Structure 1
Amino acid sequence: MSEPDTFVLPDGFVFTVRSVGRTITEGDFSAMTNLTWTFEEIHTNRIHVEQTMHHERMLAGACIVAFALGIATPAIKPPLKERGVRLIALVGYEGIRFRSPLFPGDTIYVDSALLRILRTSKSDRGVICFHDAVSDHEGRVIAEYERRALCDVSVARLDGRSTL
């Protein structure tokens, strides 16, 4: 049984989508680091990082989330549209956890699983909640979080009226 403020999804309903991969190039890394002003040496000074940590510069967390949103959204839109759900706007993130560093040259993917659709005060609107896991080409989990977006559910098949 669902919470009173949540749309009822059909029994056994599963919605998971994997994004296309995206290799984070040196250009991507530099552009995002400069754009977000994350100038700490762990992000900008390869020689310092090699001498002190024996590895490579790592991308700042905010940049990882931005890249992930960019590849996850196009992956979830078509299957949602087929089910009568249209994304409107990002509402926010909850529980962001960074599990592993992201380095220049890594290729990332986002696995998105629909958790629930919350009701709003407008019957044709909902807040769709996804669990996103960002992983690299080796299967290492880079980050996990819950992503929420406002959506139009006016033509969606929810609350058992049909199958979603």
Structure 2
Amino acid sequence: MNHDEHIASQLRWTAGTIQDSANGGNLTLSDLWAAGKIAGAYQTIYHSAAAGKGGCEAFQAPALGMVDMKTEALLQNGLVSDSMARMLQASLAQRYQNALDVSNRRLAVRQEEALSGETSISQMDRELFHSIYNAVLPSFRRSDGDALAAIQDGMAFGREVTAQNHRENPRVTHWGTS
């Protein structure tokens, strides 16, 4: 199953049985358009992570935050139905867990392919990811929807927290290294 199919199945599961339009279904064309755009953005992130280009937590969290800020703007502006809004909100954690899982699978492959004696490649630090991600969306809300300010806040927080982690343990990757 590809990522679009997975996201679509997660959305259907979250909302329960979706009736077709002949039976008074509760999804609109706008809902489907929005779901497609969001799924496409996440799929781009998944493909990038699978190819080893997704970056570390400090880069992946703001990228996912950007998609979720766009999603939040759709919700705030009433561009999707209440039913779709509930599905999107309920599937949020699963969407970014999938991105972390894809990154971890890629890191595991890199570790298997590494020459013996090379330093080990650690998995994504989910706690670090969540802390950076959680710096982005609250900033977006505080700044009345200023996505640039939110990304800047997330990046500043990521730079600070990864530098602190590196000071505590020099083997930990920090901002600007991989």
Q: TM-score, normalization: structure 1?
A: 0.32
Higher relative contact order (CA 8 A, sep 6+): 1
The structure with the greater share of residues assigned to helix is: 2
The structure with the greater share of residues assigned to strand is: 1
